[in-house]
Amino acid sequence: MKVGDLVKLAGWCKSGPAVMHVLHVDDFHITAIALQGPTMGKTIRAAKSNVFALVDYDKAMERHYEKYENR
């Protein structure tokens, strides 16, 4: 993940699911502007573990729900 990428915030997050444009990346977080969702137009900070490339998003959500669905 790098500056300029379009990514999607996970549906399990308070502000997700939402497509975002990455503005800054550090070791554990990204800063991005939300392009949809309840924080649309705002800059938000999110843990890297909650953000996925658009092409990986559906598979990541599927794995998450398979893992946590039966708890």
pTM value is 0.85
SS (H, E, C) the chain: CCCCCEEEECCCCCCCCEEEEEEEECCCEEEEEECCCCCCCCEEEEEHHHEEEHHHHHHHHHHHHHHHCCC
Pairwise CA distance, residues 60 & 49, whole Å: 10
21: in domain: yes
1: in domain: no
pLDDT of res. 68? 84
pLDDT of res. 69? 76
Count of domains in the chain?
Answer: 1
* Domain span holding position 64: 6-68
- For 11-68, the pLDDT digits (tens) are 999 999 999 999 999 999 999 999 998 999 999 999 999 999 999 999 999 998 888 8
